[in-house]
Amino acid sequence: MTNDFDKTIEIVSGLLEGKVDSFEIYLSRSKGLVVEAKDGEVDALRVSDDSGVGLRTLSATSTGGTGGIGGRPGFASTNLFTEQALSEMVDLAIGGSGGASADSALGFASAVTSEASSDLDSIDADFDALTEQEKIEKAISIEKYARDFDKKVARVRKASYSESRSFSRTYNSKGVDCSYEGTFFSGSVMAVAEQDGESQVGWEMGLSHLRSCVDPVAIGRGAGERAVSMLGAKTPGTIKAPAILENTVVMDLLGQLVSSFSADSIEKGKSMLIGKLDKKIVAPCLNVWDDGLLKVGWSSSIYDCEGVPSQKTALISAGVCTAFLYDTYWANRTGGRSTGNGSRGGYKGATGIGTTNLYIEKGEISLEGLFAEMGKGLFITELMGVHTIDPVSGEFSVGASGFWIENGKAAYPVRGMAISGDLLDVFLKVEQIGSDMRFLGSVGAPSLLIGEINASGS
């Protein structure tokens, strides 16, 4: 396919010569497999192989827009690599720019050599080592380990295993020519435990660039344990108490802050961080990073999708908001500099700002140490309705479940709670940070001890 990409770039570049002021060609290919298991057998098997090319162009205007900055934009894409299809794509992009409004901030990245190591451990050299049957067995074993964890596990839902390999390349008229390759593996399952007419659900998943890091045993047993441990859950009354947020819960909350760090959200008035640059916004013990060069990071790459070198950006340092994220367009528009956070969903999609590996820096206290530190309070292991958090005000009211802690130990499970408040205020009340760092995809966090949280039974 890389040879096809070379030929495609040659053809498209030739077709564009003398017709546009500047251009960017983005090519990608992804192939993979998803297996779902049920009752020890294959329930679904999907194989995918998708490739294509996207073209962005800029045409100069009489009022400016030369040298690759400013002008009228054009865009088109195709999943065919024939000369006819590529010619039609070029014609569509150029034709579309004729009716587009000029924008002085539009432009493509200039070629800059990254100083980062090219080895980010994003490729599993043994990607093709397993047969299709061996991949099927991965999904079946995830289901088996969930079911076998305890006799109380009555059913297993959505046991799945997937793997894919992706390749992309960005080439533009300003000298950029960079590529990315990565392998992706994941497994997940939901278990249902029943006892005395009560049923509880538990889930677990694993994701990594390396197949060996997606463990069917840990995923299956983890889901079974979560389901069984919630049997006999009580609904507490209205309380104010300290709480430990499990790392997966912290990831959910951190994920709701993602858009607030984007320069476009700031400029459009759609961020809860407007006017808060260089100001304290969370507890001074918290440091938050966006690291596009993190080893084995789910979203790590040497360059972003526009060809800008990736970097590690401190978003929050000692509780202070220290930076926002930019792609080329918003850097041009605001007079800033791209942070290497150009992102796109594929060759058919437009570019925009996206986080890479967003995470809260871990502490030095184990989860058990956090329990001992808290003594008595809530251990929240799941939130429901996190997507309803207001992206501008940060206000929320969501469902929660977990455990009541007494003397630093889990006393009994709790469910049917609602917790409410302000997202930044929750992070402002962090008193201790756990060492149990975990990533699910591109978001990572340790568990956090919160000084006080409002919870009410429902």
Same domain, 389 and 325: yes
| Domain-located, residue 14 | yes
Same domain, 83 and 150: no
What's the number of domains the chain is made of? 3
What is the pLDDT at residue 62? 46
| Domain-located, residue 438 | yes
What is the pLDDT at residue 118? 77
d(CA 138, CA 163) in angstroms, rounded, equals 11
Same domain, 96 and 170: no
| Domain-located, residue 125 | no
- Is pLDDT above 70 for 405? yes
Mean pLDDT over 307-331 rounds to 98
Report the predicted TM-score, pTM, of the whole model to 2 decimal places: 0.94
Same domain, 142 and 269: no
Q: What digits encode the pLDDT tens for the residues 408-448?
A: 999 999 999 999 999 999 999 999 999 999 999 999 999 99
Same domain, 285 and 414: yes
| Identity of the residue numbered 17 | E
- Reading across the β-sheet that carries 153-172, which strands appear in turn? 103-107, 69-78, 41-59, 22-38, 153-172, 177-195, 198-208
Strand partners, 264: none
- Is pLDDT above 90 for 13? yes
What is the pLDDT at residue 3? 67
Using pLDDT thresholds of 50, 70 and 90, give the confidence band for residue 66.
Answer: very low
Domain stops at, among 107, 124, 156 = 107
- Is pLDDT above 80 for 209? yes
DSSP 8-state class, residue 250: H
CATH number for the domain that contains residue 166:
3.30.2290.10
What is the pLDDT at residue 63? 46
Strand partners, 435: none
Domain stops at, among 229, 247, 272 = 229
Same domain, 247 and 299: yes
Same domain, 146 and 285: no
d(CA 23, CA 108) in angstroms, rounded, equals 7
SS3 6: helix
Give residue 101's domain range: 2-31+45-107
Domain stops at, among 181, 202, 229 = 229
Same domain, 425 and 454: yes
What is the pLDDT at residue 4? 84
Four-residue CA torsion sign, 126, 131, 136, 140: negative
What is the pLDDT at residue 65? 45
What is the pLDDT at residue 291? 98
| Domain-located, residue 149 | yes
